[in-house]
Amino acid sequence: MTGPHRRRRLVAVAVTALAVAAGGACSSSADGPTGDGAYLVWDPYPQFAADSDWVALVKKCGTSAGVTVERTGYDTTDLTNKALLAAQQGNSPDVLIVDNPVISTLAEAGVLTTTDDNKLDVSAMAANLLGAGQREGRTYGVPIGANTLALYYNKDLLTAAGVDPATIKDWTSLTAALGRVKAAGKKGITFSAIGTEEGSFQFLPWFWGAGAQLTSLDSPQAVSALTLWTDWVKQGHAPNSVINNTQTTSWQEFATGEYAFAENGTWQLANAKKLGFSYGIIAIPANAGGPAPAPTGGEFVSIPVQDDTGRYEASRKLVACLTSADNLLTTDTTLSYVAPVAAVQERQVAAQPELKVWVEAVRAAKGRTGDNLGTRYPKISESLWTAVQAALSGGKPPREALTAAQAAAG
């Protein structure tokens, strides 16, 4: 494990960088252990109150491990800042559940132990999901579940336009479908291309689906992906509003019933059931056919470094309990996640057949910090969403925008 003194020096650098980026969003101190012996669990689920099923599970796992648990839910960004500050001050929580792209930042800062350190079994976890929590060959947590992106479609609009969604297998057939929808007097597709991580997140299936790599933002494959989106806006297949759309506002556009397609995620399933029209879901197609790799969302359950190494055994039991097959099924249903274990995914589909397309999408998905990008990813992502904004606004042609992005990403 990383020694505590070196760890705190690394953390200090990370905290400084985050403080600059956050512009005062982080507090001056972290809420560390209270000294009463309770095991602290921090998670990014502030929406779950003390009487929720999630908190009941955390408490149950504490009882199983023979310890008292104090659980606190934070906003995702606030949680990252607090985790870094707590590590610097030597009062990290015992179990930390964080968004998967954050794992690389915390690992590089020396905040987290590895699964080997604490003998956590990750052999059943899907390799593509586990990859988001790996750095330099080491795994820094256990995935608790994943979400990703697919295409929701309006059955009524496609029927009226004479489009069979089963025929949409690649970019050519999708663009042809958009053309038929437009010819029928309706709107094509809506998505989020906002100048934030959400914009990059939504662009990545098309970027990866073209065969592009994040280490080469200006490749011909990358240019073809951005050209696809740019052409859709120019041809009226996608609205100009995509430049400012978040994933929420994009969904709101689709919910009006005026759009044939919307790129969005598993987290909209509950809202989809409230739509005033019939809907379906298909995988985002790759350029040459088949499902495109979409980015994974979801969290990892990790064990931060502790000066008191005697706490690790109970922490290991907590993590093992939270990520056991039966508990994953309950938790991922609550969070609208696809489980990271194939056997549990099959149980999810058996219970909810509509999850089949999402399981297939997750199985084809990729971690944003994969390919050993680690902490390089945020800079690459910002360069990418800047290029998307420039191209869709007409400021630069796709090739020029991506050339600038590659130069900025380094």
> What is the predicted pLDDT for the residue at 349?
96
pLDDT digits over 175-220, tens only?
A: 999 999 999 999 999 999 999 999 999 999 999 999 999 999 999 9
Neighbours of 25 (CB within 10 A): 12
Q: What is the pTM of this model?
A: 0.85
Closest-CA residue to 240 (of 187, 196, 284): 187
Which residues, in sequence order, are bridge partners of residue 149?
A: 265
**CB neighbours of 249 closer than 8 A, spacing ≥ 6?**
192, 241
Residue 130 scores a pLDDT above 90: yes
Q: 269 to each of 308, 358, 393, how far by Cα in Å? A: 43, 10, 31
> What is the predicted pLDDT for the residue at 76?
84
Residue 26 scores a pLDDT above 60: no
pLDDT category at 3 given cuts 50, 70, 90 is very low
Give 130-151 as a DSSP string. HGGGEETTEE--EE--BB-EEE
> What is the predicted pLDDT for the residue at 371?
80
Closest-CA residue to 138 (of 158, 108, 176, 98): 108
Cα 146 to its chain centre, rounded Å, is 7
Tell me the percentage of the chain whose pLDDT exceeds 90: 85
Q: What is the mean pLDDT of residues 60-87?
A: 94
pLDDT category at 370 given cuts 50, 70, 90 is confident
Burial readout 190-225 (b: 16 or more C-beta within 10 A, e: otherwise): bbbbbbebbbbbbbbbbbbbbbbebeebbbebbbbb
Q: What is the mean pLDDT of residues 97-119?
A: 95
Residue 319 scores a pLDDT above 50: yes
- Give start-end residues of each CATH 3.40.190.10 domain in the chain: 4-146+298-355, 149-294+373-409
**CB neighbours of 221 closer than 8 A, spacing ≥ 6?**
210, 211, 212
Tokens 């800062």 correspond to: 109
pLDDT category at 36 given cuts 50, 70, 90 is low
pLDDT digits over 276-288, tens only?
A: 999 999 999 999 9
> What is the predicted pLDDT for the residue at 173?
98
Residue 145 scores a pLDDT above 50: yes
Q: Is 149-294+373-409 in CATH node 3.40.50.300? A: no
Average pLDDT, the chain: 91
Radius of gyration of the chain (CA): 22
Q: What is the mean pLDDT of residues 327-355?
A: 93
Tell me the percentage of the chain whose pLDDT exceeds 70: 91
Q: Is 4-146+298-355 in CATH node 3.40.309.10? A: no
